[in-house]
Amino acid sequence: MQIKQIQDALTALVLDTLPKGAKVLRQDVPEPLPRPCVKIDILPFAVSPACAGTREYDIDVDIWYYPQDKDRPRDECRQAAELLTDALADGFDVGGEAWLQITDDNSCDLSNGVLVLQFQIAWTASVDETGELMETLILDKKEVTDYGSNNA
């Protein structure tokens, strides 16, 4: 699964959840922003090996909501926070390939008239096998060159 697939799934979820008319910004846009709008930042922060040929992936997600009324944003941002929190509570589908859930509690912050919803997602995926043989096997700090021998 790729980050773009998660981005697309979250974009669809956000657009279905928030009041109609909200646009999703695909990149940083200078002021004035088209309001209401949303920006979704996904940052991979960890990939680690797991057992049985799998890897564990962890990502940070920030959803920025810029309300229509930038002078009086509190009520609109509060509603957006409730809608997004409810929509993400049970997880979300990533193109029929995976169902992802938030690993920790999400956090919401309203600063400078902008809502920021932050959370983490983790999942495990199998490592693709290339079918290529190892060139060098190190066993007990020694290079093993005779793979068929019991002398290793």
**Direct distance between the N- and C-terminal alpha carbons of the chain, in angstroms, rounded to an integer:** 38
In angstroms, rounded to a whole number, what is the distance separating the alpha carbons of residues 38 and 62?
10
In angstroms, rounded to a whole number, what is the distance separating the alpha carbons of residues 152 and 148?
9
Residue range 99-147, pLDDT digits in tens: 999 987 789 999 999 999 999 999 888 766 555 555 666 666 677 666 5
pTM above 0.75, yes or no: yes
Six token digits for residue 104:
């920790």
In angstroms, rounded to a whole number, what is the distance separating the alpha carbons of residues 150 and 152?
6
Residue range 45-55, pLDDT digits in tens: 788 877 777 88
In angstroms, rounded to a whole number, what is the distance separating the alpha carbons of residues 15 and 104?
23
